[in-house]
Amino acid sequence: MPYTITPQDIDTGRHFCNMFDRTHEAKKAIGMEYAAKLLVQYAQKMGDWIDFTQKEISDFFGHEFSLNCLTEGSNPLIRINQKDKTFSFTEKFITECYMASPCRQKSKKI
């Protein structure tokens, strides 16, 4: 699915801030923001918001990479494709990462 925001539009040079609402525990939100930043870096390296497997993402980072915090809930940031066990970036994930990087609002229309 083509998105207006590309991976290269997102600044991963600094920590993402305020990506999640205040209902999340602070420590969990920081972990989710860090995981989101790493996934954007993966998409930047791949050149697009392509689907990926758990093995591909873990191999890319050189260690086991948990996606649990981003796939939970009724409106997850990363969608699990049950048929082929791949993961997909959601529009919500892309938009929230864009708005959270790097700790300031962006002016680009989304």
Distant-in-sequence, close-in-space partners of 60: CB < 8 Å, separation ≥ 6? 42, 45
For every one of its 110 residues, what pLDDT tens digit does the chain have, with 9 covering 90 and above? 578 999 999 999 887 876 665 455 544 556 788 889 999 999 999 999 999 999 999 999 899 888 888 898 888 999 999 999 999 999 999 998 998 876 555 445 55
- What is the per-residue pLDDT for 34? 84
* Residue 70: burial class (beta carbons within 10 Å; 0-12, 13-18, 19+): buried
Whole-prediction pTM: 0.82
Cα(78)–Cα(94) distance, rounded to whole angstroms? 10
Paired sense of beta strands 78-81 and 86-89, if any: antiparallel
Task: Write down the pLDDT at residue 90.
Answer: 95
